[in-house]
Structure 1
Amino acid sequence: MPTRLHQPSGERLPAAILDEWRKIPAAVAADLLRGRGHADPGIRPLRRFGSKSWLVGSAVTAWCEAADYGPVHHAINIAQAGDVIVVDAGGRSDAAMIGELLSGSARRKGIAGVIIDGAVRDAGMLSEWPDFVVFSRWVTPRGPSSMERGTVNEPVVFGGVPVSPFDIVIGDDDGLVFVPRQRAEELLPAALARVKAETEWEAVLATGRSTVDVFNVPKADESR
């Protein structure tokens, strides 16, 4: 059966909403979602981001059967600049779903990155690209063996989290978080407020005040 391309039921988020979410790190998004949006922490970036940048983009999903990477080709083909390819490969380590050639093609289109619950290869090269992000669970030299099955742009489960097309992907050195497209506009004011609050807390703590005072930690019982 050939790879099936699905038409997403929803629409892309407005660019203005995505631009605002680019200000939100993974930890803030994870806290807002109360533990329901962060992927398995075993899925890690190939290179460190540092504190000043992170991955944010709209999800294009690809579900891959064992050792078949057809959906990755098709997902790259239909993705737009700024998108993130979300590859559900079932967490398998037996075959890489992407390497330098496919990643290079995605990079030339302006795709922001690819995240894989599975394996990649050519990790040395991929980790050197400053403008293309790769997260994966495994690295292996073995490539895939077919490209004729799987699906693109239907809901998947990535690292334990349900992900649908056009959900927001946020990734940094802490890991990956997915913000459902339907809740992106609703959650944005709280996310921006939390970023502002953390900046203010940092400034206050720098004056020497204790975290107990700043965060109104309940008073501890004193042992006698």
Structure 2
Amino acid sequence: MATRVHKAGYQRLEAEELRAWAAIPVTIASDVTAGRVIADTKIRPLRALPLGRRMVGQAVTAWCERGDFGAMLHALDTARAGEVVAVDAGGCLQTAYAGEILCGYARARKIAGLVVNGALRDIDTIANWDDFPAFCLGNTAQGPLSKERGAVNGEIVFGGVAVRPGDIVLGDNDGLAIIPLSEARALLPIAQERVRMEASWSAELAKGRTLAEVFALSSEAV
């Protein structure tokens, strides 16, 4: 059986829109969506991202069967510079779905990052690259067993969150948010306002105001 590679006909966002999302912390994306966009918190970056830097890009999706990395290979070939490859490996930690060679290939092609609900390997090498974010559920030395199955550019469930081709994958040291493409333009100004609001709170607290004053808390003396 061959890996199924679907055509992805989603709208590609302008670079300035992605830059605007890169300024939004994952915590803010969570706050303005009541947490529904946040993937499994056990999926972590192999290397802490520098302060203020985030991974952001539109998703190329892959679904891998246990032990088979065919969809991973096709997704990395399909992805364009600036996109993020999002791989649902079903949380499998017994087999690594990519390592130094595949991540090095993605890095050379300027793919914006790789997120895997499963395992990676060659951690020492990948974690030393400061220009290629890789998020995963864990790691193992054992490699894949086959490369013949799976699907690319279909809808997947990644760490409990639905991901469609073209959705925005936003990642930082707090975790991963999947912003549905259909909601991205409506959510962005809300998230930007929340960033400004939090900056205002911090400024007021720095002036010596109390939490009760800044957050307009009500209380009753007893």
TM-score, normalising length: structure 2: 0.96
What are the Cα deviations for residues 65-101 of structure 1, in whole angstroms up to 9, with x where unaligned?
0110111111111111111110100001110001000
What are the Cα deviations for residues 10-52 of structure 1, in whole angstroms up to 9, with x where unaligned?
3222323212111111011111111210011011111112432
Cα shift at 1:62: 0.5
1:84 aligned to 2:84? yes
**Equivalence map 1:21-40=2 (5 Å):** 21-40=21-40
Aligned position for 2:219: 220
Cα shift at 1:205: 1.1
- Alpha-carbon contact 1:61-1:165 (below 8 Å) kept: yes
- Alpha-carbon contact 1:13-1:181 (below 8 Å) kept: no
TM-score, normalising length: structure 1: 0.96
Aligned position for 1:49: 49
- Alpha-carbon contact 2:167-2:178 (below 8 Å) kept: yes
Letter in 2 for 1:66: R
Q: Residue 11 of structure 2: SS of its match in structure 1? A: coil
2 CA distance for matches of 1:10 and 1:58? Answer: 10
Cα shift at 1:192: 1.1
**Equivalence map 1:93-132=2 (5 Å):** 93-132=93-132
- Alpha-carbon contact 2:97-2:118 (below 8 Å) kept: yes
1 CA distance for matches of 2:220 and 2:202? Answer: 27
Q: Cα RMSD over matched residues?
A: 1.1
2 CA distance for matches of 1:97 and 1:40? Answer: 18
Cα shift at 1:206: 1.1
Cα shift at 1:212: 1.7
**Equivalence map 1:69-218=2 (5 Å):** 69-217=69-217
2 CA distance for matches of 1:68 and 1:59? Answer: 20
Structure 2 unpaired stretches of 5+ = none
- Alpha-carbon contact 2:49-2:133 (below 8 Å) kept: no
Q: Residue 62 of structure 2: SS of its match in structure 1? A: strand
Letter in 2 for 1:13: L
2 CA distance for matches of 1:55 and 1:146? Answer: 30
How much identity, in percent, do the aligned residues show? 46
2 CA distance for matches of 1:51 and 1:12? Answer: 27
Cα shift at 1:9: 4.5
Q: Residue 91 of structure 2: SS of its match in structure 1? A: coil
Structure 1 unpaired stretches of 5+ = none
